[in-house]
Amino acid sequence: MNAAIIGGGIGGLMSALFLSKQGVDVTIYEKEGKLGGRLAFEERDGFRVDQGPTIVLLPEMFQQLLDEAGIGRDCYALVLCDPLYSIQFSDGLRYTKYPDFNRQLGEVNRLFPAEVEGFKHFIEEGRERFAQGKQAFLEKSFVNRRDFWTGSNVKTLLKLKAYQSVRKLMANYFQDERLKTAYSLQTLYIGGDPFHAPAMYSLVPFSEHEHGVYYLKGGYASLVPILEEELKKRGVDIYLNTAVTNIHSDGKRVMGVETKGGFHSFDTVIFNGDFPAIAQVMKQKEKRSFTPSSGCVLLYFGLDRIYNDVNVHQFFIGENFHEHMKAVFERNMLPNDPAFYTFHPSIIDDSLAPEGRGVLYTLVPVPSETNISWSEQTEWIEKIIDRMEQLSFPRLREAIQWMEVRTPTDAEQFGLFGGGSFGIAPILFQSGVFRPQVKPYPLENLYAVGASIHPGGGIPIVMQGAKLMVDQWIRDQALKGESVHA
């Protein structure tokens, strides 16, 4: 039994690990010159910094999935970020989040004494909602949509207040607008608007306190060679710089894939590109339009110093956060006073740069699918650097040894739908049962994984999606009377 995986992102790599454990002969076709997809480094002159994901959430899920895939915990190291991160508002107030509950209560009491009870309720109710949401949605796929619409799931949706936005849900707990922002901005991790993303995504800010925010030693992208080495040990065939140009189907099942080397027959095909791009390689009757997630302007720096008095992760909120979100998600305009995020891992990892030097990463949420000419936005980018220097990184300009900029144009050229950085947007009708599933079409042997596939974006969630896909594949083989390794 053999399988082709189109794309070597984290979803494809985890799928290959799970399938190879089932005795399947796996072949990966990757259009780029290396595996990993968005898990990659920006490297120059002995410096390296993650290009994409930086925050490790849901560490237990992350580790358990790697365990199941056959990757030992001695192969990598997770470091708890303590503090989790800080959020600085335009009025100068800095709110810090901690993994310790009592320390967090103290921080809330220090800055927002009237909000202590609301914070307690947020954590208490979040714990119950998280357990229900994880079981109902993260651990299940909905290839048959009727499986979703059970009485139990409907009750869970109501409990999660999926009909509300994350921001509106936070108003149930907090009165201060700054705290509402502090506990709703996390939808931006997956390219969603806090003012419109359904409240089920409020499980993310709860999980940060409950499960922690971690850093993968060596950088998130250091996971890729670990997985690649294991795949090669198992005899998985990996073809780099090899784009799949066509998925052949007879209307009932997929026959195989076509590359520059010709047609290749496979029993199973798994698509790990950004899902809307499947239309480029497959003539599928069902056509659906999607809304992309937000885009990002990303700045990568090599520095001649390390800023040891800042947090690894920091958020800086502009004067009007709501206006920034409207500019990104409604007006498709460049925000005038944007919020932004910085990542300075050199504080806890000296392997990323030459001795005494550091790396820095900055992310600014911007529109996707826009006509903005990014090559003409030098002045706007310079203003971001000015604010970084003023707010947290004194004399930053003189510390910069090199800088690289990535925009939604680069993301789209890489193959990300509409230049969005996180797959399709986490809006209500692109979430849960409404999101493309691990078996997206009524073809008996075509599957899909990735950020645009249920259960959604974020590295551990995409990894979980790969597990759901292989679980579905195993069920399908059983129905056909095929034996697989337990």
Summarised one tens digit per residue, pLDDT across range 145-197 is 777 777 877 787 777 777 899 999 999 999 999 999 999 999 999 999 999 99
* Range 306-320 average pLDDT: 98
Q: Whole-model pTM?
A: 0.95
Q: Taking 90 as the threshold, does the pLDDT of residue 368 lie above it?
A: yes
Residues 6+ apart with CB under 8 A from 486: none
Q: Taking 90 as the threshold, does the pLDDT of residue 38 lie above it?
A: yes
pLDDT at 484: 67
Known catalytic residues are 208
pLDDT at 284: 61
Confidence of residue 481 (pLDDT cuts 50, 70, 90): confident
* Closest residue by Cα to residue 107 from 125, 80, 92, 86: 86
pLDDT at 143: 82
pLDDT at 156: 77
What are the pLDDT digits (tens) for 251-308?
A: 899 999 999 999 999 999 999 999 999 988 987 655 789 999 999 999 999 999 999 9
The answer to whether the CB of 202 falls within 8 A of the CB of 172 is: no
pLDDT at 158: 79
**How far is it, in rounded angstroms, from Cα 158 to Cα 34?**
43
pLDDT at 286: 54
What are the pLDDT digits (tens) for 439-465?
A: 999 899 999 999 999 999 999 999 999
Q: Taking 60 as the threshold, does the pLDDT of residue 354 lie above it?
A: yes
> Which strands form 313-316's sheet, in the order they lie side by side?
94-97, 85-88, 313-316, 340-343, 358-366, 295-303, 400-406
CA distances (Å), origin 348, targets 43, 395, 400: 18, 21, 20
* Closest residue by Cα to residue 301 from 477, 50, 78: 50
Rg (CA), the chain: 22
pLDDT at 285: 52
pLDDT at 157: 77
Supply the CATH classification number for the domain 2-40+219-291+425-479.
3.50.50.60
Structure tokens at 200: 């089920």
Mean of pLDDT over the chain:
95
Domain ranges of the chain: 2-40+219-291+425-479
Confidence of residue 141 (pLDDT cuts 50, 70, 90): confident
* Range 334-347 average pLDDT: 97
* Range 203-218 average pLDDT: 97
Q: Taking 70 as the threshold, does the pLDDT of residue 396 lie above it?
A: yes
Confidence of residue 472 (pLDDT cuts 50, 70, 90): very high
* Range 463-479 average pLDDT: 95
